Amino acid sequence: MNTRALKTIKALAMSGVLALAACGGGGSSNTAPGPSANAEGLWSGSTSTSRSVTAIVLDNGSYWFLYSVPRVNAVVAGFIQGTGNAALDGSFSSTDGVDFNLEGRGINNATLAASFVARQSFNGSVSYASANPPFTFTSSYNADYDQTPSLSAIAGSYAGIASVAGGTEATTITISPQGVIAGTGLTASACQFVGTAVPRTKGNLYDLSMVVSGGGACASGTSAVSGIAYFDTGSKRLYLAALNKSRSSGLSFVGIKP
């Protein structure tokens, strides 16, 4: 083999070594994955005020934070809706939250500050510009979020409690296999609910569009609301939360399918 050929072989070998070095070597890398700036998911937990929490953080950063009556997990006492910013340091912050409270406190601006570990934990605090007392919460990732939403899964009739700004009513809501929603309160001059549920492309959730009208607790007038729906397959419990465009009126519902 002549000298020129040897030089060519050495040059090719050296370029191969450099290429491997640039790619981190020829073997597997033990480098740990970087942190995720994504708090997306379904989170289940409790507050420092003895309430249960079902928190939903969507892939676009918007969130719905449903909280129960103290020590009564099946009854929603209100929900907070807003948009948060997640950072690589595991922090999640929101200053545009609106708390739609159903215990007589009305609608109040809220600030949410939390820390999260993606798909593990979501813990933080909620404070108010008003005199409402702040509280803290802890929650863990609910793997139900990873399931595929299906209209056939939520189709059926649900008996539960619907809450609007004017009060609460025992209500029956029916969802068709096509996602059409119809509901009626059980009082003499009852609320009426019509709308649709559409499976989301990410997460085991449904986009919700509804019109609220009728008498009773809904006597203040017709209102178009939009929001989110979640069906807990284990308990067969359906959660609905929605607000109008100005976030000055809303609806929540929790019902069980037989």
CATH code, domain carrying 195:
2.40.128.120
Amino acid at 49: T
Residues 135 and 153 in one domain: no
Q: Is residue 69 part of a domain?
A: yes
Residues 6+ apart with CB under 8 A from 17: none
- Residue where a domain terminates, one of 118, 145, 172: 145
For position 245, what pLDDT does the model report?
Answer: 95
Domain count, the chain: 2
Residues 125 and 193 in one domain: no
Residues 51 and 116 in one domain: yes
Residues 154 and 121 in one domain: no
Residues 109 and 199 in one domain: no
Residues 130 and 152 in one domain: no
Q: What is the pTM of this model?
A: 0.84
- What one-character-per-residue DSSP string does 16-68 give? HHHHHHHTT-SS---PPPPP-----EEEEEEETTS-EEEEEE-TTSEEEEEEE
Q: Is residue 65 part of a domain?
A: yes
Q: Is residue 24 part of a domain?
A: no
Q: Is residue 15 part of a domain?
A: no
Residues 136 and 95 in one domain: yes
Q: How far apart are CA 240 and CA 258, in angstroms?
A: 17
Domain membership of residue 113 as a residue range: 41-145
Residues 204 and 214 in one domain: yes
What is the arithmetic mean of pLDDT over 170-182?
A: 98
Q: List pLDDT tens digits, range 52-101.
A: 999 999 999 999 999 999 999 888 999 999 999 999 999 999 999 999 99
**pLDDT band with cut points at 50, 70 and 90 for residue 35:** low
Q: Is residue 23 part of a domain?
A: no
Residues 181 and 244 in one domain: yes
The distance from CA 199 to its chain's CA centroid, rounded to whole angstroms, is 14
94-106: burial string, b at 16+ Cβ within 10 Å, e else: beebbbbbbeeee
Q: List pLDDT tens digits, range 113-156.
A: 999 999 999 999 999 998 899 999 999 999 999 999 999 999 99
